[in-house]
A and B are shown apart, each in its own frame.
Chain A
Amino acid sequence: EVKLVESGGGLVQPGRSLKLSCAASGFSFNDYWMGWVRQAPGKGLEWIGEINQDSSTINYTPSLKDKFTISRDNAQNTLYLQMSKLGSEDTAIYYCARAPSVTTHFDYWGQGVMVTVSS
């Protein structure tokens, strides 16, 4: 069974950093692209970025490119999202998701982790 479990969320002060993790199981992690999507409260889905199997290609939505960093550890079957200079606009549920290849859909999603940016 494919499982994606996010962790690392919580309450963080404006301007601080936070690193999210996504633990993958039930499939060969290093065979897949992976991505991050977020959803602000009551809003729609926003694509954050994606990373290929060997981390040689990482793509971001332009507005977040200088704030967020996606990485992965294939030995640990884990995807990461490092977030810096957080503001209230970053308050959202953050989902990790699996993609069969670069130009495809997300076929499995984690349950999401909440990040709240507030003083």
Chain B
Amino acid sequence: DARVTQTPRHKVTEMGQEVTMRCQPILGHNTVFWYRQTMMQGLELLAYFRNRAPLDDSGMPKDRFSAEMPDATLATLKIQPSEPRDSAVYFCASGTQYNEQFFGPGTRLTVL
């Protein structure tokens, strides 16, 4: 049963530190999404890739966030420097065009 995996599952860090979150999409899926979820904002799209190319990252604060897909099996989301307002659950999802998105378990980030 193929699943999207994310690491780490939980991360507690101090303000100003770099945070890297990783995602392994389901093999064969050509679209990868990064979402941020807070109680107040729901599911917010940060960035998405198609065939490893970034299509839209307009949802990300560019000065501190970056998203990449070094290869088809790995997507990364980095925050540098992190701030307390970045505390949230970050979900990665993968899928194919105009089809279901499969979500990973999420990374719960707490920035102190």
B is a partner of A: no
